[in-house]
């Protein structure tokens, strides 16, 4: 008896090809939604950093900036804007989304960890904890969905 890989998957999961395809499509839709929301959020934060670097830095990490710090903050704003724009453009393209998945996951987990550490040291930790949580949930959720949508 000859069995195809699909038949093996169906036996192993107890799901038909149609059910597997539906599950993958649903996971892909949610992954695209996460990328869309994060890209919009990052672009908004980037514009805020570029327009009001001192205020945003004070709000996010409870620190003040001097002249050199302003340059670095604005560089970060430009970098975050570029990331947001890249993810925005890749969100509808399956190949593009697949190409940027590892970077999206690494960025979100890294930023989550960075802000988690900042929250531990902050006098007013609420905003850093929120940023930490949003990025960790985005990175982990997206990673799980990507794994789920792959054959």
In this structure, of 47-56, 79-88, 93-102, the range with the lowest mean pLDDT score is: 93-102
For residue range 37-77, list pLDDT tens digits in order.
Answer: 999 999 999 999 999 999 998 888 888 888 888 999 999 99
Domain ranges of the chain: 18-149
- pLDDT above 60: residue 92: yes
Q: What's the pTM?
A: 0.77
pLDDT of residue 16: 74
**Any idea what the Cα angle at residue 29 is, between residues 25 and 35, rounded to 5°?**
140
Q: Distance (Å, rounded) from C-alpha 83 to C-alpha 149?
A: 23
Helices 53-61 & 67-90 angle (0-180, nearest 10): 80
């Amino acid at each position: 008896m000859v069995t195809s890989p699909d038949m093996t998957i169906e036996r192993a999961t107890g799901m038909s090809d149609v059910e597997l395809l539906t599950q993958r499509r649903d996971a892909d839709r949610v992954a695209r939604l996460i990328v869309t929301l994060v890209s919009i959020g990052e672009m908004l934060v980037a514009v805020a950093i570029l327009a009001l670097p001192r205020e945003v830095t004070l709000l996010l990490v409870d620190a003040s900036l001097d002249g050199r710090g302003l340059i670095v903050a604005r560089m970060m704003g430009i970098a975050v804007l570029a990331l947001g724009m890249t993810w925005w453009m890749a969100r509808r393209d399956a190949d593009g989304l697949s190409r940027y998945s590892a970077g999206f996951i690494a960025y979100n987990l890294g930023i989550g960890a960075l802000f988690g550490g900042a929250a531990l040291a902050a006098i007013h930790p609420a905003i850093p904890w929120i940023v930490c949580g949003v990025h960790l949930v985005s990175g982990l959720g997206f990673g799980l969905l990507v794994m789920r949508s792959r054959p």
